[in-house]
Each structure stands twice: as C-alpha cells, then as structure tokens.
Amino acid sequence: MIRQLFKFKGGIHPPMHKKESTHIPIQQADLPNTLTLPLHQHIGESAEPLVGVGDRVLKGQKIAKANGYVSAPVHAPSSGTVVAIEERPIPHPSGLDDLCIILETDGQEEWAEKNPLPDYKTLDASKLRNAIRSAGIVGLGGAGFPTAIKLNPTAGKPVDTLIVNGVECEPYISCDDMLMRERADQILAGAKIMCHALQAKTCVIAIEDNKPEAIEAMRAAATGCDIEIVPVPTRYPQGGEKQLIQVITGKECPSDDLPIQIGVVVHNIGTAAAVHRAIELGEPLISRVVTVTGDGIAQRQNYEVLLGTSVNTLLDQSGGTTNNVERIIMGGPMMGFALRFENVPIVKTSNCILVTTKENIDPPSHVMPCIRCGACADACPVSLLPQQLYWFSKAKEFERAQDHNLFDCIECGCCAYVCPSNIPLVHYYRYSKTEIWSQERDKEKAEQAKMRHDNRQARLDREKAEKAARAAKKRAALKAAEEKKKAEAAKQAEAGETSSADTSTTKQDEIQAAIARAKAKKAQSKAAPKNTVELTEAQKKQISEAKERRKKIDELANAGTTDTDKAP
Amino acid sequence: MHLLTPSSPHFHGPDTVTKVMMRVVYALIPAFIAYTLLFGPGVIINVLLTCITALSCEALMLKMRGRPVATFLSDGSALVTALLIAIALPPLAPWWIPVIGTAFGIIFAKHIFGGLGYNPFNPAMVSYVMLLISFPLEMTAWPAPLELREELLTLGQTLGLVFSGTLPHAMQMDAITMATPLDSLKTQLGLGQGVSEAVAAHPIYGMLGGVGWEWINVALLAGGLWLIFKNVISWHVPVAMLATLGGLALVFNIIDPERYASPLFHIFTGGAILGAFFIATDPVSGATTLKGRLIFGAGVGLITYIIRTWGGYPDAVAYAVLLMNMTAPTIDYYTRPRVFGHEKA
C-alpha cells in the first residue's frame, strides 16, 4: 500500500551538493590529544560538572550531570585526565565562550562499566526514559532538545504516529544519508525502542527521494517489521518538524502546541541510532557522524567523531582547507551559523562542517530595495508575509511585526534565498526577535522595580507612622521625666552645686565616634564601587550579551545606512 | 584565518532584480515587433526616445539622490517603464510627447517617492495619464494600421513628422490617422448606432478586436503567459482582471448585444491585455498577497469596464490601475494569509 502524502506550503529547491560527500563510507576521525566538552550542548540548563581537575576518567563515564528537567548530562568520549574546567570558545552563533571540561586523552580508550538493557521490552517506559536521559541523548538533527522529554507522552493523549526523520533536506549535509546506508539496523532498533517508550501505534521513517541508496538500505533492513519506510519528494525545508508532520499525516500542528498534542512525535534517525546504542549496548552519547564538505576543503566525506574534537582536527584530517576560504559554517548553508574560530569543538548538535570559498558564496547582486515581488511569501513554508515583517523590522515597529506572527518564523531562510533584491531577511527577523525579547525582559524588570518601590513606600509609611507613635510616647515619657528632674533639680539646687563637666565630655566622645564611623564608611565605599565587582557569572554574561546586542544593532544600523537600500 | 560570520542563510538563489526586469523586457519584444510591422517605424522612434529619456533621467536622479548610479541603472526597472510608456503612445506623436512623459514618470512618479521599490503608483501609467490629460490632441492622434492606410510614410518622412511636425507635400494628417476601435465604437454608440451597425460601417474592426491591434494583443498575451511560466508574475492578477472584464462584458452583451460590445472585443482591444499582464502585475504598486492580487485584478477589470462603457474615455486601463494602486496597502492588510498552525489570519 502506498501511503498518501500531503504537501506543505512554499519551500524551495536549492542545489543539493550531497553527492560530493557520499562517495566514501563513514570514517573514524582521529583520536585527538585533547577533547573540549562544553557543558551546554543542548536546549535547556547547562550540565553540572561531576569531576575535578586532575581526575582520571574512563570512556563513557558521566562527567557532568543534568541540571533540572530540561537538561542533559555529558560523558567522557575517551579515557584520560581532566586538565581544566574553564571558559573556552564554543560553537554558538554569538561566538562567546562558555564553561567546558577539557580532557587530555591517554589513548587507552578504556571503557567505564556499561549497563545495557537488552530486555527493554519488559521494562516500564519511565525506566527506559531515565536510561536514555542518563545517556545524555539529545536531538541530533540540529536542535538538541533532550530526547527523553520527547519520549514522554502526555497523559490521555496517546501517540498515534512516531515519525523518524531521515529527510535531511538541507543542502550539503549527508551524515543522516550515510548513517541510513550503513547502520540501517541500528536506526530501526532505536526506532523500536522509541515506539515502545511512546506506545506509538505506527512508526514511519521518512526519507527524501534524493537518497535512493538510503531508502534501499532502510527498506532492506525493515523487511518483516511493521515500521514503514516512506520516501518523500525532495523540497526544502521538509525536515522541519511541523512541515514533516504535515507531509506524513496531513495534520497541522497548532502554532503554540507541541506535536505530541496532536499525537505525533518526530525524532531524527541519528537520535534513534543513539538510543539503540544507549539501551542495547549501554553506550552513552559520546560521538556522532559529521559531514565535512564544501568547496574550501580538499576531501569531502563523513566522519564518526568523538564529541569535543576540535573542528581544526577534522579539517586537517580532510586534507586541510584551500587558501580562499571565506567562512566555515557549522550546519548547513540555509540554517547553519558561521564559526568565528576554527578551534571550537564538535558538539552533540554539530551535523556538518561546511567550508565555503568566496566563489561559491558570492551573492549574485548587491542588496537592492524590496520590489514587493512576493517571491518570499510564495516560498515561506509558514505562510507569513516576509516582506511585511521586513518593513516592520526595519522601521522597528516590533508590535506590528508580532501582530504579523513574527514568532512563527522558523528561520529556514527560504525567503532570503529567493529574494531577487538579496535582502538578508532572516537577519532582520532575528534582530526583531531579540529586540522584542529584551524589551520584554526590561518590562518585567521595570514591573519588579515598581513593585519593589511600592513595597518600600508602604514600609516607609508604616515605619514613619510607627516612629511618630514611638516619638509621641517618648515625648510624653520625657515630659514626665523632665518634670520629675525639675522637681529633683530644685531639690538639688537646694542641696548645693553640681558639676556639668561630666555630661559635656560624654557628648564630645559621641561626636568623635560618629566622625570616625563616617570616615570608615567613606573609605570603604571608595575601595569598592558597588556595582562593578563581585558580579556573578550570570550577571557578567548578561552584560556581555547586552554589549553584543548593542553591537549588532549598531552594525545593523550601519548596514542600513551603507547598503543601497536607503529610504529617502 | 579571517572568517566571516554573517547570519544564515549563507547561500542565495540565482534571481536578481535585473533578471526579473529583463524577463519583462524580453516578454515585451514580440509585441513591439508586431507593433512595428503593423504600424510602421514610428514605434521604434518612440522606443528609442523613451529609453534614452528614462535612462538619462534615472541616472540624473540617482546622482542627485546620492545613490550608486551603475547599480541602479543596471537594474532594468527604468527600461521596463520606458518600454511600457512606448507601447502606450501613438506611434507618430511628436518627439516631445515620449520625452516629457517618460521624464515625468521617472522623476515624479518614481524618484520623488524614493526610487525603485518605493513608488505607490505605476510610473508608466502616471506618465501616460499625465500626457493624456495635458496633450489630448497629440495623444489621441492614432495612426491607422498600415493595411488600412491610404498613404504610407517612409522612415525619413516619419522622422520628419515626429521631429518637425511636417508631413510630405500634399499629405493630410487625416490620411494617416484613424480612430481606434474603442474610440470609434464609443463615438458610434454615442450617436445612437448599435454595435453591429458600427462594426459594419468601419473597416477598423477585425476578428478579435481591431485590425492590427488584435495581433499586438496576441503577442502581448504570449509574452504574458511566458512571464507566468517563468514565475515572474503570478496568474492571479491577469486572470482576475480579464475574467472580471470579460464576465461583465458577457453579462451586458447578453442583456443587450446592440448596446454592449462582446467580451472578446473588450479583451482584445485597447490596453486590456497589456494592463492585465504587464501593468497591473507591477509588484511595487500592486497588492502582494495571493487573495489580494485577485481582488486587485478584479478591481482593475471592473473599473476598466465601467469607464469604457459609461465613462468619458474610450479606454481606462491606466485609470483603473492607478485607482487600484491606491487601495493596494489596504487590500494587503485585509487579505493576510492564515499563518501555519493558526486558526485564522
């Protein structure tokens, strides 16, 4: 039976360039001397280190634990010694540093104890999820969302379909393609485990029809089991979660809901293979397949790479870069980000290293004014009006941008790809989104400040009232005392002279002490300006982020005045 | 290594503004060939005059506005405007008609509003309407198709007429001009004649529209269909406009065939096809949403039919387009598509 497929709106057909890296099998990348393992390789909270500098760790040993529900642990990809836990450049669009565990490998590849669960079918789903979570598995398709969470169906909402995503719609990337060709059985085994955890009724493996070898291999491996291999017509961005759900099931996932709400779950095929290794072999996520490709690299192929391996090491193993390299992109050409440094590590979400030259990246023309041709709207898979969003972003009319559903943009890049005026549309949307986020944060802060102010005012009023009451009481007491004193003085005057020197010396002392106190306070405040030292890491990060944002805005503003597209 | 870190997407498709504009230019070429063959070398003179004027004014305005001249001059948009003006002008008009018209269109309709992408009105139509209102005599002196002309002009004689207004000895202007089919029909209907009577009485009417004119319109139709095929324009505006114009014509034609011309006549005379495929589809001044384009096209068709049938002008595509240009932003606002995963727009 041929499954009925549905269509998603928009999309593009860019040149795919996949064959360049699929001519040889996946090769094991060299074991590097040092591995740099960022504590934040996934969506959610950073992991917390479990080891200290100087500790010897074994391959597969957990070296950082998950911090909260949306988080994932980190494991040692090889045996060796922890030589540092410090900030290093990480692969992130911001180009900022983040905390990493630095491991010096000893070449022994000595494994920690493995705890496979081969009879997982008898296990409770929650136990399975815990094992997957403990293996540090996150979505390997690029987003890096902790997998165990996506294997946890909501009560009362049974999962109808598990879609295993082998679409790999972005040009150049071929790691999923090669994985399906070579490890179809692992992917299927993983898919079965996922099915069991989700109690899914059906399981579909979707593959774009430009990968006939992968389809063939998966079909061969799937004979006799009830997992369906479904070739889908090639179109970018079909691998987008909600797009793929629409293609396979015809269901449209509501904008503010997760797919699980409509009974569908999507996992990447690489994730499925990792789940198989974690459950049936007891091996946590310590390596992944990475495509190294692009015109700027001598040898284009796929590697099985230990997490933490530097991009540099991979490039060297591929015969080095040509001398006209312009950018090194982590991910694909449509959604990947350009690296600021080549020495960043491969992390769980790094599917591709794309080395481009000036020649194959040069845009066909300058940035021109928008001619409202609507090509962007035709290409948008989410039915947005990209050019309206562009005008609103440019004019900083963020409210109207939001009104036009800016936050439904998946940043697939179709609009910018087809724009005849070569306007960097997605860049404008990212700018608007960050501005809106920061405005919202500011608003929240302002509200908190207002609340604090109101509370303080109330407290001050209360204290004033209390003070007044106390003062009144005291005055009354004093009056009574004075009258008493007067009466006594009158008595003493009668008794003879008394010395007033005593009281004056005590007063003098008090004044001296107050001056000394004030001086000390002044000295202290001089030594330590209150708001710049002893900042927490989070505060420092916030400051640098703010600086980065400000820089971006300036850049954008400058770009706006230097490009040819100026409003009069 | 110095690495660049712009944000994604890192690659771009092959389309550029210049390519888009040049495709429109290519699509107009068959119509210009037909126009020249059927109406003589005056057409070529108009094309040269409008193109030279458009590019000069464009360069001048870009320079004055401090924009990169070469970048924008090569975008092809001024050329498209020039050709659209040229195809709308009478082929034997005095030289200053195309020059003034094009200069006005480029300077006032385009650059005063901010140049490429910022003009709220279609520059070619602004200049055509300005000329029609300011110089009605010159703008309505249409030469007869060559096959209906009593006397023919050589290239030298054509140049003499265009640049110095002199006709060869003993030749009258009436001998070479003739009312257009729409004009003639309007006049005859105004005189109380029926459609069939009017058509029988005048040699200008052809198989589809007017003699000569119908072939230009066929060439324009071919060019327009090619533009749809090449994805330069979408089918929405032409289909909506021609369907509305043809549909209205059909209804009234059925009601009273002697007072209202047939749908085929309405579509294949005057500027209907040119307007549907080349003018109303101008992205800058038109609606951009798919639903919006349908409304926009239908509006142009409706206004064209109303003015042609009950208004003071024989043709009305230019007015219809300009009037609808004003409504484009509002149409766009109310025809936003339903965003994926949302209940309604």
What the block records as the tokens of A174 is 């071929």
Q: How far is B107 from chain A (nearest CA, A)?
A: 14
Amino acid at A337: F
Q: Summarize pLDDT for B269-307 with one digit per residue, the tens.
A: 888 999 999 999 999 999 999 999 999 999 999 999 999
Is A403 in the B-facing interface, judged by CB distances under 8 Å? no
Query: Are both B34 and B156 inside the same structural domain?
Result: yes
Q: Which domains does chain A have, with CATH numbers?
A: 19-302 (3.40.50.11540), 303-361 (no CATH), 364-455+554-568 (no CATH)
* pLDDT the model gives residue B172: 75
Mean pLDDT of the residues in chain A: 88
Residues in B closer than 8 angstroms to A328, CB to CB, are 3
Query: Are both B203 and B149 inside the same structural domain?
Result: no
* pLDDT the model gives residue A525: 55
Within-domain flag for B3: no
Query: Are both B212 and B300 inside the same structural domain?
Result: yes
Q: Which of A58-62, A275-279, A518-522 has the lowest mean pLDDT?
A: A518-522
Q: Is the reported ipTM for this assembly greater than 0.90?
A: no
The total number of structural domains in chain B stands at 2
Within-domain flag for B2: no
Query: Are both B189 and B170 inside the same structural domain?
Result: no
Return the H-helix or E-strand segment holding A549. Answer: helix A537-562
Query: Are both B66 and B135 inside the same structural domain?
Result: yes
Within-domain flag for B240: yes
Q: How far apart are CA B83 and CA A145, in angstroms?
A: 56
Query: Are both B206 and B276 inside the same structural domain?
Result: yes
- Measure the CA angle with vertex B340, ends A271 and A157; round to 5°: 55
SS3 label, residue A521: helix
* pLDDT the model gives residue A290: 96
Q: Which of A169-183, A518-532, B18-32 has the lowest mean pLDDT?
A: A518-532
Within-domain flag for B10: no
* pLDDT the model gives residue A565: 42
Please, which pLDDT band fits residue A71 given cuts at 50, 70 and 90?
A: very high
What DSSP state is assigned to residue A122?
G
Query: Are both B143 and B95 inside the same structural domain?
Result: yes
* pLDDT the model gives residue B129: 95
Q: Which of A179-188, A404-413, A436-445, A495-504 has the lowest mean pLDDT?
A: A495-504
Please, which pLDDT band fits residue A363 given cuts at 50, 70 and 90?
A: low
Write out the residue range of the structural domain in which residue B34 sits: 16-177
Within-domain flag for B7: no
Within-domain flag for B340: no
Q: Do A327 and B5 touch (CB under 8 A)?
A: yes
* pLDDT the model gives residue A564: 42
Q: Which residues of A380-401 are buried (b: 16+ CB within 10 A; e: fewer)?
A: bbbbbbbbbbbbbbbeeebeeb
Residues in B closer than 8 angstroms to A413, CB to CB, are 8-9
Neighbours of A350 (CB within 10 A): 26
* pLDDT the model gives residue B168: 74
* pLDDT the model gives residue A94: 81
Burial of B184 by CB count in 10 Å (0-12 exposed, 13-18 middle, 19+ buried)?
buried
- Alpha carbon separation from A485 to A281, A494, B47 (Å, rounded): 93, 14, 116
Domain end call among B143, B177, B211: B177
Which strands make up the sheet holding A352-357, listed edge to edge?
Answer: A27-28, A301-306, A287-293, A352-357, A325-330, A337-338
- Alpha carbon separation from A530 to A363, A524, B106 (Å, rounded): 50, 10, 62
Domain end call among B177, B210, B240: B177
* Pick from A361, A382, A387: CB nearest B340: A382
* pLDDT the model gives residue A46: 93
Within-domain flag for B162: yes
Residue length of chain A? 568
Query: Are both B195 and B328 inside the same structural domain?
Result: yes
Which residue out of B11, B80, B234 would a mutagenesis test of the A interface target, given it has the greatest number of A Cβ atoms within 10 Å?
A: B11
Mean pLDDT of the residues in chain B: 89
- Alpha carbon separation from A133 to A70, A112, A128, B179 (Å, rounded): 10, 18, 9, 84
* pLDDT the model gives residue A562: 44
* pLDDT the model gives residue B212: 77
Q: Mean of the pLDDT values across residues A122-130?
A: 89
Q: Mean of the pLDDT values across residues B159-169?
A: 81
* Pick from B10, B15, B118: CB nearest A361: B10
* pLDDT the model gives residue B162: 83
* Pick from B71, B77, B284: CB nearest A372: B284
| pLDDT of B237 over the 90 cut | yes
Q: Mean of the pLDDT values across residues B328-344?
A: 89
* pLDDT the model gives residue A492: 77
Within-domain flag for B222: yes
Alpha-carbon dihedral sign for residues A325, A326, A330, A336: negative
Q: Which residues pair with A162 in a beta bridge?
A: A203, A265
Query: Are both B190 and B320 inside the same structural domain?
Result: yes
Q: How far apart are CA A331 and CA B345, in angstroms?
A: 33
* pLDDT the model gives residue A530: 46
* pLDDT the model gives residue A560: 47
Domain end call among B153, B177, B201: B177
Q: Do A242 and B341 touch (CB under 8 A)?
A: yes
Q: How far is B21 from chain A (nearest CA, A)?
A: 10
Ranges of H-type helices in A239-365: 241-249, 269-276, 311-317, 358-361
Highest-scoring range by mean pLDDT, A330-334, A360-364, B208-212? A330-334
Q: Mean of the pLDDT values across residues A397-415?
A: 92
pTM to 2 decimals? 0.82
| Closest residue of chain A to B17, computed from CA coordinates | A420
What the block records as the tokens of B210 is 């007017």
Q: How far is B306 from chain A (nearest CA, A)?
A: 29
Is A395 in the B-facing interface, judged by CB distances under 8 Å? no
Residues in A closer than 8 angstroms to B286, CB to CB, are 372
Residues in B closer than 8 angstroms to A360, CB to CB, are 11
3-class SS string, A327-359: EEEECCCCCCEECCCCCCECCCCCCEEEEEEHH
Q: Do B289 and A377 touch (CB under 8 A)?
A: yes
Is A427 in the B-facing interface, judged by CB distances under 8 Å? yes
Q: Do B1 and A567 touch (CB under 8 A)?
A: no
Query: Are both B230 and B300 inside the same structural domain?
Result: yes
Query: Are both B130 and B234 inside the same structural domain?
Result: no
| pLDDT of A429 over the 50 cut | yes
Is A552 in the B-facing interface, judged by CB distances under 8 Å? no
Q: How far is A254 from chain B (nearest CA, A)?
A: 4
Q: B239 CB contacts (<8 Å, ≥6 apart)?
A: B294, B297
> If you search the block for the tokens 């009006």, which residue do you land on?
A385
| pLDDT of A522 over the 70 cut | no
| pLDDT of A321 over the 70 cut | yes
* pLDDT the model gives residue A567: 40
Query: Are both B108 and B187 inside the same structural domain?
Result: no
Please, which pLDDT band fits residue A502 given cuts at 50, 70 and 90?
A: low
| pLDDT of A523 over the 70 cut | no
Q: Mean of the pLDDT values across residues A299-309?
A: 95
